[in-house]
Structure 1
Amino acid sequence: MYAILDIETTGGQFNEEGITEIAIYKYDGHDIVDQFISLLNPEKPIQPFVVKLTGINNAMLRSAPKFHEVAKRIIEITDGCILVAHNAQFDYRVLQTEFRNLGYNFEKQTLCTVELSQKLLPEQPSHSLGKLVRALGIPMTDRHRATGDALATVHLFKLLLEKDVEKEILKSLVKTEVKKGMAPKLMDLLDGIPSVTGVYYIHKENGDMIYLGKSRNIKKRVNQHFTGSSSKSKKIQKQAFTVNYEETGSELIALLKECSAIKTNKPVYNTAQKKTIFPWAIYAEKDPNGYIALRLQKTDNRKKEIISFPGPVEGKSALFTITEKYRLCQKINGMDPSAKGHCFPYELEGCNGACMGEESPEDYNLRVMEFINNNSFSNQTMAIIDRGRAVDERSAVLIEDGVYKGYAFFNLNYQVHNLEILKNIIVPMEDNRDVKKIIQNYIHKKKALKIVRF
């Protein structure tokens, strides 16, 4: 749980500032679950330059509560939370000073979104809150007021959580929860998980991630782990201390995040995707007669593959289907090595006679290229638009020059037709053969998927 806050002060000498306004949003990593917003009477005058910056003047604060009147509420809403702020050192210091004046020791773990953005958004020329939110398309109102700045920080932190591929922020939260005491029962862990599409992460007591997965119903899937009788399920049940999740809305993004997170974090009970999961692929090469032949081979990183498979059986089956669908020749594709003349489908009018020289290489290759263009990202730049996490949100998966760049979530009012703006909000991800296969399969399965080409 996080307490995302912003404080406006009177200005003045170090450790003598008074708080004029405070906004705290309690955030569970997905939604705001509580909030506290209030003007405060600092019992000291506001510096003129601060009045000009914030619009808050001394007259506005005469009837506002003093800090000691809201101190209990601040303690309650931040209980068990990591404090998050843009330039957290300042806000935390001012809060500690106010509590110290009341004789109370206020201590919290903190996260600074300036430092996080410098690490996770190094390409940004400025890490000030105003310039960051403009560059990232984050809506902002009431700049230099606690509510506006705190809400903008919530949106920024949500994006930073997405971009934290190594899950360092999540691990710090787990370690904070460990300090609370005994591990909750498995069913208590399950209560906090919704029935949504997304990715879930299971941690043991020291914070290490032991398993992660994706599902269109993550509550149901985690319940299967907690009630299963397999050897792996029993190990997970014994070691599970905390379960965290990320809602994606889009099944494609859940698949891509799962693939990336397993390779990055290497959880002990995930084995399937630690290595490349598609070691066979179809390649195109011209034969001596000028026909483009499709060959199923073991993957070769020196060659440009069209589509890949988990094994030779799946690859052969797909090649037969492709050859039939596009009226290609089994003999040219090396699927009928015993044929000395024409291929067998030629007798059934399933081949146009390329194997007999009756169809020109130019005509034949047009159909081969149609297959390649329908199944390869080569040199293509496009955004795959899918569901978001809410009714007013959509997601985008970006392919640039045939390379998977990452994903983003955007409001329905936001246009993704500008490639440069889309690249600003994208969560960068590593491109590899596995994610290409995942995207290809998803496009093939979802016929009505919207694709924006640049």
Structure 2
Amino acid sequence: MYAIVDIETTGGHASANGITEIAICIHNGKKVIERYSTLVNPRRDIPIYISALTGITNEMVENAPPFEDVAHDVYHLLNNKIFVAHNVNFDHSFVRYHLAAAGYDLQCNKLCTVRLGRKIIPGLPSYSLGKLCRHLGIENESRHRAAGDAEATAQLFSLLLQSDKSNHIPQALKQTSKEQRLPANLPKQDVEALPQSPGVYYFHDQKGKVIYVGKAKNLKKRVCSHFTGNNPGPQRQEFLRNIFNITFQQCGTELVAFVMEAVEIKRLWPKYNRSLKRFEHAYSLYAFEDQRGYMRLAIDKHRKMTGAIYSCNTLFEGRSILMKLIDAFGLCPKLCFIQNNNSECSGPNTGNCACEGHEFVTDYNQRVSLAINELNKALPTFAIRDAGRTDDEHSCLLIEKGKFYGMGYISHYFNADTLDQLKNHLTPYPGNDYIRNMVDSYAIRYPDRKMVFAG
């Protein structure tokens, strides 16, 4: 038995919105044998634009029963039935959420007439309920009202049952089939094409624009995890409705997938990505010459397209590095902006310091240059050589002087004698501390995969 459901609501997600009308048509596989319909008091105002769409006003539902008063009837109509709706995950999420709030746990199989329509009647320009019904000659004089739309969906479902020569409906109902969990607009073959290997995946909207980028140790498993559960929150519901296609890049290792995800989020700026989007270097070490000709070092907020000597996440880290250089090379804390008061210089050359004009510019600047060179030498240059996408290649990520340079794939037989030889086989990518720290941590965990080059 099938329960064909349509609801009208105060908004697009269950956790913050109510049901204003619900209609259920019980279908025995041949015809509708029972009908149920009622207005529902959502106990909140119905937005004007929704009233304009559905015709349901606050006055109409004022004396209607709240959902908990009809929950018993709704649950027993749906229990042990197959839940059918046009874009079933929307209706199911609302009904299940509000039934749970009333103390009922709805567990049932689902069928989506959008997905079934795409399979059984392929090639149509649109699978919205209104356009699909017009194409098939199904009349609906109560569009955007629960009873009218449920009745139209029931007629559509009858036609799909009759036209299902390839047994798409029985296949969708198999216990092993998880197709009904998929977003209504996502082709099943996009998921079936995903390999069980590391990589980066991209969710695209109806226009092909990337709206989400993710990384995975197992692409198929990770992508499918997005479609499990019954989270009724607004972001998830909107997110699922906007997924129309999936593409992917295979990566040799999970580390490469992590780095590629970070790079692609910065490049594409997808709508639904939150983490990593705004990850930037917070502070950098800069060198500049003042009006007297003295070279000065300073930790300042990171600025793009500037010649930073070193970048870091915290002011503390930057100041710690600078203080070590001051101690090691006898630099002036005032000229390095570590000491900002008008007191006597606290550096090692008090009374004969550059900040007081007592040291030749060339002598002081030579020590600053030595400090910068020593810092550059201390920054590591190494590559991570690891598994590739196939047996005859390796993945390779390069850190050059403490900064992420890029990555790529090299032949299983390739041996780099010099850093320049290796760089010719890699693609440069923009880096940040997040990427650098990931690669550094990986090198510590797997020292046998690390190739060290002279700085």
What band does the TM-score fall into relative to the shorter chain? Answer: 0.3 to 0.5
| The structure with more radius of gyration | 2
TM-score if structure 1 supplies the norm length? 0.42
TM-score if structure 2 supplies the norm length? 0.42
